Each structure stands twice: as structure tokens, then as C-alpha cells.
Amino acid sequence: MVSILVPVYNTAPYLRQCVDSLTSQTYTDLQIVLINDGSTDGSLEIMREMAVEDKRLEVYSQPNRGVAATRYNLLRMAKGDFVLFVDSDDWIERNTIELLMREQQKEDYDIVSFQMSRSTVKNDNVYNQEQIIRLFLEHITFRGSLCDKLIKRDLFENLEVDKTVSYGEDALIVWQVLMKAQKVRVLDKLLYNYRVNPSSLSRQHFNGKKFSAYTTWDHICCDTDERWPQFSKIAHARFACEMTQILRDAAASRYPHNESVRLLQEEISRDSHLIRETGISSLKMSAFAWLVSHNYWLAKRLSRFTR
């Protein structure tokens, strides 16, 4: 059985399309769990209506706690052998689960990853743990999203979820799962349809919640230094890239030069040279990393040219 886990927060206009794509799957041995995270737009009523039509739908509701806490609660309710997360404003192709399960059973893969509609770099390969750790840290053809991966449920056991992280929480969960995965299949198949939703946190005008991504990448860097020292430079280069993107967005939104900004500037200043040294991103990213770490006000004026 596959457990499809859906956190729901104020996505009423898109929710039916999302859930219809799950209940119409050609693979039918499914548990579909939806948690309403304090929606105020009628999402809960839609979920309850659809649950009457398909008994595989399990609907729960909670006060608003944020996506990290909601994902954790969803995992506690999962009963399947495998888990797939789907965001409630997106949808998947009708044969997604069938294709993923057929692929998984070829070599008993711990994770089967696939493409989302926003993916641009193709990859079709099998990786051992060391290889997939490096690929994750490079963050080009294998990223930190939970929604493009079918994962064995037992890999989530004893998961440590930092509920204070509201941006980059997926990457932290994926990272912990990779610590247990031995064989990963990456498919060059476009199966997930990602909707650019202007109300999602990633598309909103910059706010301080995005600084919580610092916790994610600091954790990943510490783990890498301890367990995968051969990849330390790549991890710290990625840390600098991720923090640079946050400061770029902050600068573009004219966010004040406060203590959070200064902390990220210090981190970027220390590691920005590794971006060029490891080659994990462009020369433009390397140059902007140096700029934003030394002159936040000038970065504000130039941020629109780095998008």
C-alpha cells in the first residue's frame, strides 16, 4: 500500500483537482490522508465532501501549526509501505503511482525520485548512498523536495522534525531519510504538476520566516562535516548559495538590515569562495554572494538583475 499525504492550507480553488488526481490513480491500493492546517477558505468543507465519495480519503483538521508540524502529523498517520507527499495546490499524472511502484519493485529501491514540472535538468540513474548524498548537496538534479519522491515508510522512523523551520523543511526531512537510504532510483519522468501559487510562502513578499532555512542548512553542513567530510566543501558552498538566495530576496523586498541579515552575511562571507571552487553554481551567483555579504544596500539595488 502507498500512503499519499497531503497538507492543506487555504487552497480551496485547487483542492478538487489535486484530490481527483489521487483518487483516479491506476494503482488503487492507496491510503490518502489530508490534514487541514487551520484553513479559513472552505478547504475543510471540500475535503469532507470528497471523503464521502471515496472511502480511501481520511480527513483530519488541526489549528494552524505550519507545514513542518503538519507533515510530521501526516507521517504518524501513514500506514502504507511507501509514502508520497503531494501539495494541495498541485496534482499528479493518473499513472504516477503505478509507474513508481513498477520501477521500485525492479531492484527494491529505498527511494524512487521523478521530475516535477519546474525541473529543467534531466537525470536517469541509480545511486548508492554516497553518490546520492553528493548529488543532494550539489542540489541540481536531485533536490530537497518531498513531493517528487516515493519513499519507503520505514525510512521515516525516529525522524527529528524541527517545527520551527517553515522554509526549507522538506530538505531537512529528505536529508534525514538519505542517511538511511542505500539505493535510490532517479527517473527522468515528468509525473508531478507543480502550480505556481502566488499565496504560497515561497512566492510571497519576503518575510522573516524564510530565515528559518538557516537551521536546515546549518544542520546539513554539521552532519556532512561529521559523516561525509569528503563533501564538506560542497555542503558549505551549497549553504552559501541557499543563504545568498534568501538575502537576494530580502534585498529585493527592501527588508531591513537587521541581526538576521548580518548573521547570513557572516556565513556567506566565510564560504562564498567555495561556490566557485566547487563549481556547484554560476559565476554570477558567486559574485553576488560576495557582494551581498559585504554590502547589503548595494545588493538591494542590484538584486533584480540576479533572478
What pLDDT does residue 220 have?
Answer: 97
C-alpha to C-alpha distance for 22 and 20, rounded to whole angstroms: 5
Would you say 248 and 299 are in contact if contact means Cβ atoms under 8 Å apart? Answer: yes
304 compared with 22, residue with greater pLDDT: 22
Residues 148 and 279 in one domain: no
Name the domain boundary from 193, 213, 244: 193
The rounded percent of the chain whose pLDDT value lies above 90 is: 80
The rounded percent of the chain whose pLDDT value lies above 70 is: 94
Q: For the chain, what's the residue count?
A: 307
Q: Which residues have a Cβ under 8 Å from the Cβ of 165 and sit 6 or more positions away?
A: 68, 172, 212, 213, 215, 216
Query: pTM higher than 0.85 for the full model?
Result: yes
What pLDDT does residue 196 have?
Answer: 78
Q: With helix as H, strand as E and coil as C, how does 152-179 read?
A: EHHHHCCCCCCCCCCCCHHHHHHHHHHC
The arithmetic mean of pLDDT across residues 215-234, rounded, is 97
What pLDDT does residue 304 have?
Answer: 59
pLDDT digits (tens, 9 = 90+) for 255-270: 999 999 999 999 999 9
What pLDDT does residue 92 have?
Answer: 97
Any domain includes 279? yes
Residues 29 and 168 in one domain: yes
Say whether pLDDT at 203 is over 70. Answer: no
Name the domain boundary from 159, 193, 227: 193
What pLDDT does residue 161 have?
Answer: 74
- What's the half-sphere exposure (Cβ side, CA atoms, 13 Å) at 146? 30
Q: Which domain holds residue 256?
A: 205-306
What pLDDT does residue 159 have?
Answer: 87
Residues 134 and 257 in one domain: no
Any domain includes 163? yes
For the chain, the domain total comes to 2
Any domain includes 156? yes
pLDDT digits (tens, 9 = 90+) for 40-91: 999 999 999 999 999 999 999 999 998 888 999 999 999 999 999 999 999 9
Residues 231 and 283 in one domain: yes
pLDDT digits (tens, 9 = 90+) for 144-176: 999 999 999 999 999 887 777 888 899 999 999
Name the domain boundary from 140, 160, 193: 193
Residues 164 and 254 in one domain: no
Other Cβ atoms within 10 Å of 215 Cβ, number: 17
Residues 243 and 117 in one domain: no
What pLDDT does residue 119 have?
Answer: 57
**Amino acid type, 89:** D
Any domain includes 199? no
Any domain includes 183? yes
Residues 175 and 59 in one domain: yes
Any domain includes 198? no
The arithmetic mean of pLDDT across residues 109-118, rounded, is 89
Would you say 169 and 75 are in contact if contact means Cβ atoms under 8 Å apart? Answer: no
Say whether pLDDT at 303 is over 70. Answer: no
CA distances from 62 to 34, 70, 101, 103, 122 (A): 11, 9, 31, 35, 39
What pLDDT does residue 74 have?
Answer: 96
Residues 45 and 140 in one domain: yes
Say whether pLDDT at 305 is over 80. Answer: no
User: CATH number for the domain including 177?
Assistant: 3.90.550.10
Would you say 224 and 137 are in contact if contact means Cβ atoms under 8 Å apart? Answer: yes
Residues 214 and 80 in one domain: no
Angle ∠(121,123,128) on CA atoms, nearest 5: 135
- What's the half-sphere exposure (Cβ side, CA atoms, 13 Å) at 268? 27
Any domain includes 29? yes
Any domain includes 200? no
Residues 67 and 184 in one domain: yes
57-62 and 30-37: which strand pairing? Answer: parallel
Say whether pLDDT at 134 is over 70. Answer: yes
Residues 129 and 261 in one domain: no
Residues 189 and 214 in one domain: no
What pLDDT does residue 206 have?
Answer: 83
